[in-house]
């Protein structure tokens, strides 16, 4: 792994742990084992590096989601696989946690990949839900767009509840609850 990738990965981890304000260029450099010159050789500054880190986190999150949502099986099986996949629940969502960071939310450039990630995820879930509805697996009256938004909201809320309780149990309960909505007719 090159210095640029080490810097991006270090920034990703620190953003996930500390948020934007709590992540200093010095901390990123120390974690990456890179000097200040290396950082500024690859990035114009903290914001540029943070943007690369957020984009990489978004790409990984969407790739993991697509693995389950594009796999063989019924719509409910694929969504179940997505919701039940292994996660670091107590750390929260690496993208969702950024929405709690006022500097990320206030900056349209830093916020853009967060918005795009959630929009892509909602669209992909809506597509799978629509397939399930069209195949007769889910009720004909189902609104795929609204239910996709609900699923994303339940996941993000589940992370918050789990962190507040310092236990993955509230997250697991939220996932079980939304899955019950999919399988109850």
Tens digit of each residue's pLDDT (9 = 90 or more) over 70-90: 999 999 999 999 999 999 999
- Answer whether residue 185 shows pLDDT above 80: no
The length of the chain is: 185
Q: Report long-range pairs for 37-44 (Cβ below 8 Å, ≥24 apart).
A: 38/3, 38/7, 39/7, 41/3, 42/3, 42/4, 42/7, 43/7
What is the C-alpha to C-alpha distance for residues 32 and 139, in angstroms, rounded to an integer?
Answer: 50
Residue 21 to residue 24: CA distance in whole angstroms: 7
Residue 48 pLDDT > 80, yes or no?
yes
Distance CA 43, CA 90 (A): 31
pLDDT score of 6: 92
Rounded to an integer, the average pLDDT of 44-59 is 93
In this prediction, residue 40 carries a pLDDT of 82
pTM: 0.90
């Amino acid at each position: 792994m090159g210095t640029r990738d080490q810097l991006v990965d270090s920034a990703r981890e620190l953003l996930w742990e500390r948020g934007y304000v709590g992540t200093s260029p010095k901390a990123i450099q120390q974690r990456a084992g890179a000097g200040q010159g290396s950082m500024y050789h690859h990035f114009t500054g903290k914001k540029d590096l943070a943007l690369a880190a957020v984009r990489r986190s978004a790409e990984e999150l969407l790739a993991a989601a697509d693995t389950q949502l594009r796999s063989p099986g019924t719509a409910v099986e694929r969504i179940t696989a997505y919701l039940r996949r292994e996660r670091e629940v107590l750390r929260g969502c690496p993208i969702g946690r950024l929405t709690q960071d006022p500097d990320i939310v206030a900056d349209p450039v830093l916020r853009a990949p967060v918005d795009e990630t959630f929009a892509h995820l909602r669209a992909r879930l809506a597509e799978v839900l629509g397939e399930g509805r069209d195949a007769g697996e889910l009720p004909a009256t189902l609104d795929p767009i609204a239910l996709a938004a609900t699923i994303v909201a339940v996941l993000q809320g589940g992370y918050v509840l789990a962190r507040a309780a310092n236990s993955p149990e509230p997250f697991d309960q939220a996932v079980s609850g939304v899955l019950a909505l999919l399988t109850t007719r």
